[in-house]
Chains A and B, each alone.
Chain A
Amino acid sequence: MEPRTKTENFRRLLEFIRPYAARLAGALGLTVSLAVLGMAPPLIVMYIVDEVIVAGRWEMLEVTVALLVAVPVLTAGLRVANAYTLSWVAHRLILNVRLTMYRHVFRLAIRFHDEMGTGKVMSRMMGDVATVRQMVTMQMLRIVTDLISILAALGICYGLNWKLALLMTILMPLYVVNYRIFIGPIRASRRRWREKMDDVSVGLQERLAGVRLVKAYGREKREDRAFAEETHAGLDFAMQSDTHRASARSGFWVVSGIRNTLIFCLGCYFVIQGDMTYGGVMAFLAYAMRVFEPVMNLMNVGIQIEDMMVSVDRIYEILDHPVEIRDAAGAVDLPVVHGRVVFDNVGFEYKEGEPVLKNICLDVQPGQTVALVGHTGCGKTTLTSLLMRYYDVTEGAIRVDGHDVREVTIRSLRKQVGQVLQDSVLFDMTIRENLGYGKPDAPDRDVINAARVGEIHEFAMRTRDGYDTRIGDDGIKLSVGEKQRLSIARAVLTQPAILILDEATSSLDSLSEALIQKAMAAVLKGRTSFVIAHRLSTVLTADLIVVMDRGEIVERGTHDALMQITDGNYRRLVQQQFADVDSRAYAV
């Protein structure tokens, strides 16, 4: 990655601080004045040693000591206020960055999520943002105060004894040399360490998500070993970087050791010569420390800055990901629709040259139920995803009541299209909250009605806290069927004009599916619906059956009409499905 883009990203991140510039400026002012005030004590001590003790001006003792007490005690409040402001801004900053990322992540197309994976999104939003926090406020201010400290301390040193100060200045580049020697290896090993830890995190996420499989195949030990290997590789790089760091630190101590010895001994020589007082030497050493400490800190910043830049980059990798699916300029809210859905010669490809859907033409009248059937991977789910605008068509157009779905706001579109997914996703909340997910303000009566429709009411009533029973983490576990019924009820509650059922009934047994379908029949009335089901029994009652094959519609019509086509796709599907049961059934 180009260093230029890195600094650019960093600058962009600073934009997040802008609203708090005033606070930060205040904090900066405070920090600078604290740094300047902090410069006073060595001078006071010098005065006490040279003037009070050695020169015998004992009458000044109380005043000077009082000053020595006053400076830190009186500034204690200021320091707390400063720390408060700094941490306020720092945490506020990461709150804002996370919120912005959240807003963006939840606008990005489904494709982004499929490609990125939950683990990576998580580590960017939580881990990387935390890394940035430290640097952006605390360290930035520290850099400023450090520079001020260095300059002020150097200035005072020149005032105390210009020859010693000159010597100190000449020795300064040694620090730079030491830094240059070690910074490269440190950065390289840290980078590798970070990459390894990323792998560890992704692997761990998967293993935890698939723990049932791990157990079923008795793979615990091997997974442990895999985890150990990954983490151990991380450990090696961490050790490398820490070893280099230890060397760098010792290098600094060597340089400072040489410097301080020279200053001390030369200082003492000047005292013997009468060019300097001993209090002056003490003060000079104290100020030399104040030059040294910030330099040391700057080196640490130099090491951390790479970590931060990487994190900043990864944050922007998300923030810069284009929102592919967005409201068009001048998009209007989709008015309440009747539910006519037209696929006008729709084509779609994920990757260029690999069409997933071709020439889809379909005109669905309001209230019609369309069954989508076909072999796995024939594009049924993709077709409905286009209607939800999870993806945009690459060819043709989809119109709802005559409105191109790309010309209305996404929100208003999705509000009117309900969807029940193949994998039921429920959240760690109460049953009531899960049911009301699409309509949090729904009155209890509606919620219970929807639950009855989804055949989940009785289940809910069986649990101890009824609708207030928590699902997930600290609550109860639901079977797949229960989850699906709940998610059907959840979709029913929002009363969508258009409903998509993606294999939602596939794991339900025929009995409860029959119950649901009875209820759904009422729900589907006056509602356009697309049903993807592998079981043909569930689509027999559809107004229109669309048979798809390799991204194309190959047959369409009612069950009876399609059964008439000799050697038709539909007929073949039906026969495969029911062949066995027929033979068995009629053998009885």
Chain B
Amino acid sequence: MNPYLKRFIRIYIRPFWIRVALVMVLAGITGSYFYILGFITKTTVDDVLQIRPGTAVDSGASPAGQAMARIHNGTEDRQTGRDPQRVLPHNWDTDRPKPEKTRAEKIKWLWIVFGVYMTVRLLFAGMNWFFNYNIAFVGNRIVFRVRLDLHQKVQKLQMAFFDRKQIGKIMSRILDDVQLLQSEVTTTFVDTIGHVSKILIGIVVLLIINAELAAFALLALPLYVLTYRMFQRPISETFARMRDAYADTYGTLEERVRGIRVVYSFTNERSERRLFFRRLASVFRLSVRNAMLNASLRAVCASISAAAAALILFWGALMVRDGRMTVGELIYFNMSLSSLFMPLVALTNVNVVIRQMIVVISRVFEVLDEEISIKDRPGAVTLKRLRGRVVFQNVRFQYNALAGDVIRGLSFSVDPGMSVAVVGPSGAGKSTLLSMLLRLYEPTKGRILLDDYDIRDIRLSSIRRHISLVPQEPVLFSGTISQNIVYGQDGATPDRILEAARRAELHDFIMSLPEKYEARVEEGGSNLSGGQKQRIALAMAILTDPAILILDDTTSALDAGTEARVQKTLDRVMDGRTTFVITHRISTAARADRILVLENGRMAGWGTHESLLSRGGVYGQLYEEQQQPAAEITG
């Protein structure tokens, strides 16, 4: 069995084994439904209605019939043709004398048939309910668990994963792919059990009715296997490519819708439409191909079963003529045969669906198996308190071998309570550096110490509880403003929320809104300005009262007035905690206890404002650049 499928069954289906077993049993019983009905029919035909094969008046059997008769009797002594009398029942079944019943007797028996038939039908209708209910129960829960696991996994994955994958593609896995699991796959899984039990019971029933005919019917089986094998590979290939094409389309579309302003400002609607069309066209081609292959497979299988059933009817009819079978038995055999072939046709389809299911499952496991490179080591410690000492020891980092090292060997140490400004040209690795402090990324070489612990020996939850980051591009979630502020600290009291908002210079703005703290934040904070978003992000961080605070160019989107006010707050907030401030402004940097100058991932300066200035270098240059306008103003 496919290893993915095996794992899927082990992880997701086994917890429901009692229900699955129940469903299997029900499926098995349901599988015998048509055979039971067939048996009632047979009994009715043979023993109640007492229908007997007729003799040909003209006795002119067709050549084929004669040939068949010869085969049946397997002897040469019948060459003279057949004796019409011989076909009368039943020199082969002396245990079942069948005296003709009277009409009254027949009708009496028919009442019994009525009772049994009705009982069987109603019983199965009831069983059907349990069957369907349990399928739904298991199916829905499996989908639920798979989604949860995917979500959990995705939440645990390191940032590097998100740098590589488009959000749209992840979404399409968690939502669409998994839905597919339910709609087709779980029902198919259970149906398969039903089909298999039908086939097994069917084979036994056929063998009991007439072994010779049954052997003949089973000859059709290899044909099925052959057909299925022929179609299997192209179908699963097409399906996998179709899902990929779909994910591509989804990804492209999501990017464009998100970046609508760029599309508009470059008036690229037309070429984007062409691109989208190309994506859709490949989905279209593959979908039609997929449908075609499935239809062809179905058609071939249906033809095989129809031909087989007809030939068996032919053979069976001859056996009835020769008295080796009753009419009822032939009808029973024929009914059973169609209940055997139907699941066979369905089973070929099931196989296809299972192929498709494996594609979906493997896409699920692809995410679930994605290596979590950043996780708690065994024995990682929980830190109740963090004093805020930070040491970088020869830290190197690369996102991607393609792009080379972003951080190239950094060493420095920061005492608790110190404020550090990180300056340097864009792309120097400032944000990366501080992301590593939160263990969003892991150094490729070297190590980072927090309060003398290797950062990898501290539980992630501890690190992130004590370190807060205010990102350069603030992220807000839809909800109310206060819900956003308490994001890092559930259950904060209203007083503390207010306090945090005040300190982030946000309170007045919030109070100017009609709904105040309960004002809605739209998806992505689209109804707020960049400065408002940054201040909310700041309030979020302030509320968590972190030991280490990282401000990634936090005040860049603020106008000068607001910035000046926020800066005052920051001075207060930064007091007593280790703070890293990424900034482009010398004015901000100058206030820090230490300044780290980064250039091309290397340290191009480390010290106080004064000491760095006296040394000139990159920092001196930056200072000169920014002094110019200041000089102009004051001059």
Q: Is the CB of A376 within 8 A of B531?
A: yes
B560 at the interface (CB under 8 A from A): yes
Q: Is the CB of B154 within 8 A of A581?
A: no
B243 at the interface (CB under 8 A from A): no
A235 at the interface (CB under 8 A from B): yes
A61 at the interface (CB under 8 A from B): yes
A427 at the interface (CB under 8 A from B): yes
B91 at the interface (CB under 8 A from A): no
**Closest approach, in angstroms, between the C-beta of B329 and any C-beta of chain A?**
12
Whole-angstrom CA separation of A186 from B309 in the bound complex: 39
Interface of chain A residues 163 through 209 with chain B (CB within 8 A): 197, 200-202, 204-209
Q: Is the CB of A250 within 8 A of B129?
A: yes
Whole-angstrom CA separation of A202 from B113 in the bound complex: 58
Q: Is the CB of B110 within 8 A of A265?
A: yes
B366 at the interface (CB under 8 A from A): no
* Residues in A neighbouring B373, C-beta threshold 8 A: none
B79 at the interface (CB under 8 A from A): no
* Residues in A neighbouring B174, C-beta threshold 8 A: 204
Instruction: Please judge, given known A-B contacts A98-B280, A110-B264, whether A511 and B272 are in contact too, CB under 8 Å.
Output: no
* Residues in A neighbouring B131, C-beta threshold 8 A: 246
Instruction: Please judge, given known A-B contacts A206-B524, A235-B141, A485-B426, whether A272 and B171 are in contact too, CB under 8 Å.
Output: no
Selected interface stretch from B200-208, B229-237, B287-295, B380-388: B287-295
* Residues in A neighbouring B144, C-beta threshold 8 A: 231-232, 235
- Tell me the interface secondary structure of chain B in the complex: helix
Q: Is the CB of B473 within 8 A of A423?
A: yes
| Interface residue from B48, B141, B260, B424 paired with A106 (Cβ < 8 Å) | B260
Q: Is the CB of B132 within 8 A of A422?
A: no
Q: Is the CB of B54 within 8 A of A56?
A: yes
Q: Is the CB of B165 within 8 A of A99?
A: no
B85 at the interface (CB under 8 A from A): no
Residue of A nearest to B312 (CB): A65
Q: Is the CB of B523 within 8 A of A117?
A: yes
Instruction: Please judge, given known A-B contacts A53-B53, A53-B320, whether A511 and B473 are in contact too, CB under 8 Å.
Output: no
Q: Mark B406-429, 1 if CB is under 8 A from A, else 0.
A: 000000000000000001111111
**Closest approach, in angstroms, between the C-beta of A552 and any C-beta of chain B?**
16
Whole-angstrom CA separation of A505 from B460 in the bound complex: 35
**Closest approach, in angstroms, between the C-beta of B152 and any C-beta of chain A?**
5
Q: Is the CB of A261 within 8 A of B561?
A: no
Instruction: Please judge, given known A-B contacts A437-B268, A588-B613, whether A269 and B303 are in contact too, CB under 8 Å.
Output: no
Q: Is the CB of B321 within 8 A of A215?
A: no
Q: Is the CB of A62 within 8 A of B314?
A: yes
Q: Is the CB of A79 within 8 A of B477?
A: no
B96 at the interface (CB under 8 A from A): no
Whole-angstrom CA separation of A511 from B139 in the bound complex: 59
* Residues in B neighbouring A72, C-beta threshold 8 A: 302-303, 306-307
* Residues in A neighbouring B62, C-beta threshold 8 A: 58-59, 61-62
| Interface residue from A56, A84, A231, A375 paired with B55 (Cβ < 8 Å) | A56
* Residues in A neighbouring B114, C-beta threshold 8 A: 261, 265
Whole-angstrom CA separation of A98 from B275 in the bound complex: 13
Residue of B nearest to A122 (CB): B254
Most buried by B among A55, A58, A271: A58
Instruction: Please judge, given known A-B contacts A76-B299, A249-B132, A414-B266, whether A99 and B321 are in contact too, CB under 8 Å.
Output: no
Q: Is the CB of B266 within 8 A of A269?
A: no
* Residues in A neighbouring B609, C-beta threshold 8 A: 584, 588
Selected interface stretch from B7-15, B354-362, B449-457, B619-627: B619-627
| Interface residue from A59, A258, A437, A459 paired with B61 (Cβ < 8 Å) | A59
* Residues in A neighbouring B309, C-beta threshold 8 A: 68
A80 at the interface (CB under 8 A from B): yes
A396 at the interface (CB under 8 A from B): no
Q: Is the CB of A235 within 8 A of B265?
A: no
**Closest approach, in angstroms, between the C-beta of B91 and any C-beta of chain A?**
18
* Residues in A neighbouring B633, C-beta threshold 8 A: 563, 574, 578
Selected interface stretch from A139-147, A236-244, A442-450: A236-244
Q: Is the CB of B403 within 8 A of A476?
A: yes
Q: Mark A209-231, 1 if CB is under 8 A from B, else 0.
A: 11111111111101110011001
Interface of chain B residues 221 through 248 with chain A (CB within 8 A): none
Interface of chain B residues 348 through 368 with chain A (CB within 8 A): none
**Closest approach, in angstroms, between the C-beta of A87 and any C-beta of chain B?**
3
* Residues in B neighbouring A65, C-beta threshold 8 A: 310-311, 313-314, 317
B99 at the interface (CB under 8 A from A): no
Q: Is the CB of B629 within 8 A of A249?
A: no
* Residues in A neighbouring B16, C-beta threshold 8 A: none
B39 at the interface (CB under 8 A from A): no
**Closest approach, in angstroms, between the C-beta of B534 and any C-beta of chain A?**
9
Residue of A nearest to B104 (CB): A272
Interface of chain B residues 50 through 81 with chain A (CB within 8 A): 51-58, 60-62, 64-65
Whole-angstrom CA separation of A86 from B58 in the bound complex: 51
Interface of chain A residues 387 through 421 with chain B (CB within 8 A): 388, 390, 410-411, 414-415, 417-419, 421
Whole-angstrom CA separation of A239 from B110 in the bound complex: 42
| Interface residue from B152, B431, B475 paired with A210 (Cβ < 8 Å) | B475
Q: Is the CB of A503 within 8 A of B302?
A: no
Q: Is the CB of A219 within 8 A of B136?
A: no
Interface of chain B residues 244 through 268 with chain A (CB within 8 A): 249-268
Q: Is the CB of A87 within 8 A of B288?
A: yes
Q: Is the CB of B426 within 8 A of A507?
A: yes
Q: Mark B436-454, 1 if CB is under 8 A from A, else 0.
A: 0010100000000000000
Whole-angstrom CA separation of A499 from B562 in the bound complex: 27
* Residues in A neighbouring B253, C-beta threshold 8 A: 102, 122, 125-126
Q: Is the CB of A511 within 8 A of B621?
A: yes
Whole-angstrom CA separation of A487 from B426 in the bound complex: 14
Q: Is the CB of A49 within 8 A of B331?
A: yes
Residue of B nearest to A269 (CB): B110
Q: Is the CB of A459 within 8 A of B427?
A: yes
B213 at the interface (CB under 8 A from A): no
Whole-angstrom CA separation of A223 from B54 in the bound complex: 77
A33 at the interface (CB under 8 A from B): no
Whole-angstrom CA separation of A210 from B533 in the bound complex: 13
- A sample of 23 cross-chain residue pairs with beta-carbon separation below 8 angstroms, ordered by A number, consists of A54-B51, A54-B52, A58-B56, A61-B64, A65-B314, A99-B276, A103-B269, A106-B263, A204-B171, A216-B464, A217-B488, A218-B461, A224-B152, A242-B139, A258-B122, A272-B103, A272-B110, A376-B531, A475-B400, A479-B432, A534-B563, A581-B586, A585-B630
Q: Which 4 A-B pairs have the closest CB atoms?
A: A481-B426, A257-B121, A83-B295, A56-B54
Known: A480-B426, A503-B530. 13 other contacts (CB 8 A): A53-B330, A62-B314, A80-B292, A95-B277, A99-B280, A204-B175, A213-B475, A264-B117, A377-B531, A477-B403, A479-B429, A480-B431, A584-B609
